[in-house]
Chain A
Amino acid sequence: MLKSLFKIFSSLKLTVTCLSLGCVLVFWGTLAQVHLGLYKAQNEFFRSFLVYWPLDGSAPHIPVFPGGYLIGTVLLINLLGAHLRYYQPGKRKIGIILIHFGVVLMLVGQFLTDFLSRESALHFRIGETKNYSEADRACELAVIDTTEKDSDKVIAIPCSLLARRGAVSDSQMPFTVSAKTFYANSELMETNMPGFEQIKTTAGVGAGLWWREAPRVTAMDSVDQPSGIVEITTPQGSLGTFLVSAMLSQPQRFTFNNRSYELLLRPERFYMPFSLRLLEFHHDKYPGTDIPKNFSSRVRLQNLDNREDREVLIYMNNPLRYEGETFYQASYDPDDGGSILQVVHNPSWLTPYLSCVLVAMGLIWQFLSHLIPFLKRRAAK
């Protein structure tokens, strides 16, 4: 039994099957991007074990095709199995081993990247200093104690917790926050429109507005606008229900026990042990046109821990790598007065570089070790 299982898992037939399935998956997943958008198609096809039908998530929702993770995992097992089964020492096989070890490294590296990497954005105007970046999609509810003049105390509740509608409590917080309603994407209106519903809250801004839940955004260049209603409950009773929304520019305010608090639904923040200050931003164009030629941000990097304080220039194809984070020139404000950096935290960023070198070496070795004897034979004829 085990033997036959090993035979199956180490067979070239399985390799060919996996590779062909991979081809179909990549093709289908690419076509699906037209309707699902890049982000959702990625999750449905490549970052999943199974692809479900229909793709929009409605019933019957049955698995119809292996997803990227499944194919990748089977391929990985198959690869290792085949090497155990067919391994022969010798010079001729060095190439094959290098190639496949490189492929293994790349597959593992991509799994790690998917699970460990984090992308966020840092948007600052010229002259502004920031020590955090913001998530592209995930949001958080910040409960801010603004009583002290020179420092705020912030407790951030991830939106994923709000979506579960439970009560959230924290030892730092003299009350609990519970989500009554939470829409991952929504629309707000100041007047009644068909399909909208009046917001029923008891405190703060919100009671005069209408809202409705909106389908999740899938396009790459737009984001969800989450909204919800939260209730603040103290040991003495409820302080009321508040509207929180990414579309409200002002926080909701309340006081409790002579302390002032603010509620703000904002993109999730990731703090860094150093700060960046935007000194200059340049947007170069080709002469006589609006075709962009280059974008660059001159930034002052300050790290209080090790007293590092220097200027860096971040531009297209030239990111700043620092303390495990990489900062890329990603976008800019329409008035050229601010810059947006993409911040990537990816501990396994080096694996593709290594695996590329391994595979390329292996392929060249393999190629030459066949070509040279072949040419020698031809020449001898």
Chain B
Amino acid sequence: MKKFIPWILVACLAGWVVASLFQPAETGFHTREFGKLPVLMDGRFQPLDSVGRNSLLQIRTKQTVLLDNSQTMSAAEWLLEMMMKPEQSNDRKIFRIDNAEVLDLLKLPENQKFYSFSQIRPQASEIEIQADRIQQREDAKISAPADRTVFETQLMKLYEEMNLYQRLQVSLKPPATDDFAAELAAYQKSIAPGIAAVQARDAGQKFDQDAFNNLVGFMGGYQTVAQFALPAIIPPSDSNVPRDDWQNIGTNLMQTAHTGEISQPAQSYAAMVTAYRANSPADFNQAVAGYRLWLADRFTPQLNKAGQESFFNAFEPFYKALVIYVLALLLALCSWFNMSDWLRRSAFYLVGLAWVIHTFGLVFRMYLEGRPPVTNLYSSAIFIGWGAVILGMVLEKIYRDGIGCVVAAFAGFVTQIIAHNLAMSGDTMEMMRAVLDTNFWLATHVVVVTLGYASTFVAGFLAIIYILRGLFTNTLSPETAKSLARMVYGIVCFATLFSFVGTVLGGIWADQSWGRFWGWDPKENGALLIVLWNATILHARWGGLVRERGLMNLAIVGNIVTSWSWFGVNMLGIGLHSYGFTDAAFRWLMLFVASQLALIFLGLLPVKMWKSFSARA
């Protein structure tokens, strides 16, 4: 029976993953279909679903909204409501405010985690005054963004979130509009007489004041939308215009005054608004389907890409991999104590399953972006995890002692958590700035250097296992200790290879783009530090300066070095690789460094205090 347990577990979890591919058909408003509509935002085509998710992540730090009746609302549903019925969305508690001083400023109670726009609005002017003050101070170069206090950072964050929130609300219709479809029909009728009136007035002739006012009234509303709308939702109707020259609906409607013809996409969206506000799902669904049909002939690639991305969003492969990694980690840890092979095998197979899903997510992202795997910090976390899982599985395959499983499962789980937190800053598939826009170097330098990070972390984590098991349990037999030492040594060699080659490739890239092989840029230095440190470990071992325990301690220092060059250098806010940072990340980095130092301290304790070693003696 025990022989089959691992396979049964794998089958169950695989079943869970596959089942999630089949979603039940939507009743009522087809918000999922709405979420699949392509728009242009942040320089790339994405589904409205992604716009909703990324905005919610920034504002609420979650991809969904929790309603008062403890049901959840999807990102697409929320965005739909925001764009079409903003007055209703203002009561949703979505602004996460943790800072007590900000709450004091807004006169809000401290016992809530999330607040609604309606709650914040009475004090909104206060936020603006403070933000203006900070902005002016920084524009005048009196202080830099890095000098902000915690209160100011949190306040600016809220200010930007409110900005995003308010802009999303006017991304589709003017604030006062109710029946958008009827309004557009009236607008179209008003154009010809209105234009005639304007021309007559400009020529100093008698003109129709009503027709004039009518047109100007419409234009005023569209002007607001044109100025503040975020996503460009209207594709070009003219086939001579470049295919990626999309407009926001406000700009599009203002241009209609010249053409006299309201574009089909604008009419479709207006029909959706009217149907949604009139609570008529059938009409809404028909408008969405009609618009999709219209797009299908003309904007096939954009429509397909948006559909694929919204599938990816809904499937959440990284989240699913995370769940399985956690399960595998628990099983593998149990296998150390219980030593039963079915536990270890279950863990191994589950890691394998999670890795397959992880890989699927990674490859799908690459396909969506048209890029190599690592393009920003978020994807570097995903990729470091991926590489570390492979190393862990290889170790497990060789040694079959549950250690590789723990390494793989833990690495997979932790890097997913880190990635999830890095995703808070918004779109994780953002465009690459000019100098980074080269798939060749992203595919070589970045990938190799990231694998160097991954392997250094694996070595460090193996060392932690050695110390914790040796010190606190009696499970670290001489053989296990020896194989751990061999693993650490092997992985450090591997890490040296990758970090060296990766670093030098980075230098060559720099030579290609700036004519400077080595510029002592912080990120370059970070990579160099990993190379130097790995070389130090290897030479210290060859020279007999360290033995088993010393090797372990040095490998843990490797964790500090790597985390510093992965995150720390970005926090310095200087150099070519500085991509801005939150202080939450800094706190976590400091905590991590402290924990590693504590582990090194444990590793330095005299042998007689080690449970595994004293038991033997």
Contacts and interface: CB of A to CB of B under 8 A. Distances in A.
Interface in A30-45: 30-31, 33-34, 38, 41-42
A110 B516 CA distance: 11
A112 B422 CA distance: 41
A110 B518 contact: yes
A338 to B, nearest CB: 17
A23 B543 contact: no
Interface string B527-554: 0110011011001101111000000000
A23 B539 CA distance: 14
Interface stretch (B116-124, B171-179, B316-324, B502-510): B502-510
A287 interface: yes
A317 interface: yes
Nearest to B535: A19
A328 B542 CA distance: 43
Interface string B545-585: 10000000000000001001000010011110000000000
Contacts of A352: 504, 507-508, 511, 517-518
A289 B431 CA distance: 10
Contacts of B511: 349, 352
A48 interface: no
A302 interface: no
Interface in B465-522: 490, 493-494, 496-497, 500-501, 504-505, 507-509, 511-522
B29 interface: no
Interface in A1-43: 11-13, 15-16, 19-20, 22-23, 26-27, 29-31, 33-34, 38, 41-42
Given A30-B569, A286-B43, A352-B508, A15 B539 contact: yes
Contacts of B525: 26-27, 29-30
B521 A291 contact: no
Given A288-B246, A356-B504, A367-B494, A293 B437 contact: yes
Contacts of A378: 398
Nearest to B519: A38
A42 B508 CA distance: 19
A209 to B, nearest CB: 25
Nearest to A23: B532
B515 A342 contact: yes
B608 interface: no
A317 B512 contact: yes
B132 interface: no
A23 B42 contact: no
A118 to B, nearest CB: 10
Contact of B434 (A288, A294, A363): A294
A328 B514 CA distance: 6
Interface in A291-324: 291-295, 316-319
A291 B561 contact: no
A291 B522 contact: no
Given A19-B539, A328-B514, A346-B515, A316 B501 contact: no
B404 interface: no
A288 B508 contact: no
A30 B535 contact: no
A370 interface: yes
B299 interface: no
A317 B545 contact: no
Given A38-B520, A289-B431, A356-B501, A317 B532 contact: no
A353 interface: yes
A288 B43 contact: yes
A374 B572 CA distance: 43
B20 interface: no
Which residue, B43, B438, B515, B517, has most C-beta atoms of chain A within 10 A?
A: B515
A119 B500 CA distance: 26
B441 interface: yes
Contacts of A287: 40, 43, 242, 244-246
A13 B441 CA distance: 37
A295 B500 CA distance: 31
B574 A317 contact: no
Interface string B385-424: 0000000000000100000000000000000000000000
A13 B513 contact: no
A108 interface: no
A326 interface: yes
B294 to A, nearest CB: 21
Nearest to B505: A356
B287 interface: no
Contact of A26 (B40, B500, B532, B575): B532
A355 B508 CA distance: 11
A292 B575 contact: no
B60 to A, nearest CB: 24
A152 to B, nearest CB: 30
Interface string A320-350: 0000001010100000000000111010010
Given A317-B435, A356-B501, A19 B508 contact: no
B536 A19 contact: yes
A232 interface: no
B435 A316 contact: yes
- Where chain A touches its partner, the secondary structure class is helix
A319 B515 contact: yes
A52 interface: no
B484 to A, nearest CB: 15
Contacts of A318: 512
B262 to A, nearest CB: 21
Given A34-B574, A328-B513, A12 B520 contact: no
Contacts of B528: 26
B44 interface: yes
A230 interface: no
B515 A328 contact: yes
Contact of A29 (B504, B509, B520): B520
B448 to A, nearest CB: 10
Contacts of A346: 515
Contacts of A275: none
A22 B532 contact: yes
A322 B572 CA distance: 37
B232 interface: yes
A201 interface: no
Contacts of B536: 16, 19-20, 23
Given A342-B514, A359-B504, A33 B575 contact: yes
A317 B438 contact: yes
Contacts of B522: 30, 33
Interface string B271-298: 0000000000000000000000000000
B41 interface: yes
Given A16-B540, A352-B517, A367-B497, A286 B533 contact: no
A288 B41 CA distance: 7
Nearest to A343: B515
Contacts of A110: 517-518
Nearest to A99: B500
B572 A33 contact: yes
B194 interface: no
Contacts of B519: 38
Contact of B574 (A33, A113, A349, A367): A33
B460 interface: no
B431 A366 contact: no
Given A23-B533, A316-B434, A352-B504, A30 B572 contact: yes
A275 B437 CA distance: 29
Nearest to A47: B520
Closest CB pairs A-B (n = 10):
A286-B43, A12-B543, A344-B515, A19-B536, A356-B504, A289-B43, A287-B244, A363-B497, A292-B434, A30-B525
12 contacts: A16-B545, A23-B536, A33-B575, A106-B504, A287-B40, A287-B43, A292-B433, A316-B437, A343-B515, A356-B507, A360-B497, A366-B493
Given A349-B511, A359-B504, 19 more contacts: A12-B539, A12-B542, A12-B543, A16-B536, A16-B545, A19-B532, A23-B536, A27-B529, A31-B572, A34-B573, A119-B515, A288-B41, A288-B232, A294-B437, A316-B438, A330-B514, A352-B507, A353-B508, A360-B500
